[in-house]
């Protein structure tokens, strides 16, 4: 099966499992909003979990739990990031954002509940028979999602919005390592954690992949705006905010993203041909159009 088909199949499996989990929670508006927010998306983080688990011999029936956990946490982050007090976005994944479809209070609660659901999914016995492994998954997920990881990156991003001078390349790299890199890191490492194996090759892989993903995001932002408005100004660059494109130039950003993909693939040499799908995932992050 090719990478695109594998990703589509993983996305369907994750979608079905999340729907099944949410069906146990009743029909309150907040639960409907959780299902709405958790639907769709590329499922790249969940795919990394499933592939990282597969190469470590973890059964798919177990791996689906952390795959859904990371997608629930990712969905929460998007719901909260879209709120008027943060990015104030009206659309997400081609649909109205949760606070536009419902209201702000429902969006805050749905995000909160998606976050706690993520921890529930890795803490439940179906995820892994060994409570020590489940605790390790939960602890590492808390570190990746919280004030050492994604929340730190988001807070640095908000501070940068208020700063007088744009961030340097090192600063923006550190910011993005938290904001988007931390969840990619956890996703890639989860299978190794479940197998009690060395996470180091996957840590290196995800660090490079996460950065390549963010550079590609900045490139898409500029190219999307240029296509729409006939000029090369991305949303963030338009606000005078530093981006990888504003700091490296378009060609420099593309070259950096490509060298990061090579670096990510090289980190996986220890797994031989078993890591082919993870290498394809790294190539995908810089070739995607959304």
* Token code pair at residue 131: 């409570």
With CB under 6 A as the contact rule, the residue among 49, 69, 107, 150 that binds ligand GRG is: 150
Listed in sequence order, the residues at least 6 apart from 19 whose beta carbon sits closer than 8 Å to its beta carbon are 35
154 binds ligand GRG, rule: CB under 6 A? yes
Least gap, CB of 272 to ligand GRG (angstroms)? 28
Q: What is the number of residues in the chain?
A: 290
Residue range at the interface with ligand GRG (CB under 6 A); choices 2-10, 71-79, 195-203, 256-264: 71-79
CA 118 to chain CA centroid, nearest Å:
13
**Residue 168 burial (10 A CB sphere; 0-12, 13-18, 19+):** exposed
Specify the 3-state DSSP secondary structure of 92: strand
Rounded CA-CA distance 237/31 in Å is 36
Least gap, CB of 28 to ligand GRG (angstroms)? 23
41 binds ligand GRG, rule: CB under 6 A? yes
42 binds ligand GRG, rule: CB under 6 A? yes
225 binds ligand GRG, rule: CB under 6 A? no
Q: Which is nearer to ligand GRG, 189 or 236 (CB)?
A: 236
With CB under 6 A as the contact rule, the residue among 179, 193, 207, 256 that binds ligand GRG is: 179
Residues binding ligand GRG (CB under 6 A): 41-42, 44, 74, 77-78, 80-81, 93, 150-151, 154, 179-180, 217
């Amino acid at each position: 099966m090719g990478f695109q088909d594998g990703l589509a199949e993983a996305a369907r499996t994750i979608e079905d499992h999340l729907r099944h989990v949410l069906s146990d929670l009743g029909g309150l508006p907040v639960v409907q909003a959780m299902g709405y927010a958790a639907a769709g998306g590329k499922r790249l983080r969940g795919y990394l979990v499933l592939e990282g688990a597969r190469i470590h011999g973890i059964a798919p029936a177990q791996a689906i739990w952390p795959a859904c956990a990371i997608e629930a946490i990712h969905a929460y982050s998007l719901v909260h990031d879209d709120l008027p007090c943060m990015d104030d976005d009206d659309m997400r994944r081609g649909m109205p954002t949760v606070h536009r479809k419902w209201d702000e209070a429902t969006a805050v609660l749905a995000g909160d509940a998606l976050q706690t659901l993520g921890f529930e999914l890795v803490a439940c016995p179906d995820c892994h028979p060994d409570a020590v492994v489940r605790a390790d998954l939960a602890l590492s997920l808390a570190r990746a999602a919280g004030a050492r990881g994604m929340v730190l990156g988001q807070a640095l991003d908000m501070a940068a919005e208020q700063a007088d001078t744009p961030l340097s390349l090192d600063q923006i790299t550190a910011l993005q390592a938290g904001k988007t890199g931390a969840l990619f890191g956890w996703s890639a490492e989860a299978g190794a954690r479940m197998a009690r194996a060395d996470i180091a090759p996957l840590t290196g892989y995800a660090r490079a992949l996460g950065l390549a993903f963010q550079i590609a995001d900045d490139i898409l932002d500029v190219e999307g705006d240029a296509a729409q408005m006939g000029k090369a100004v991305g949303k963030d660059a338009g606000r005078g905010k530093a981006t990888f494109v504003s700091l490296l130039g378009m060609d420099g950003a593309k070259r950096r993203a490509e060298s990061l993909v090579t670096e990510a693939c090289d980190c996986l040499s220890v797994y031989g041909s078993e890591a082919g799908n993870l290498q394809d995932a790294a190539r995908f992050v810089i070739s995607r159009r959304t």
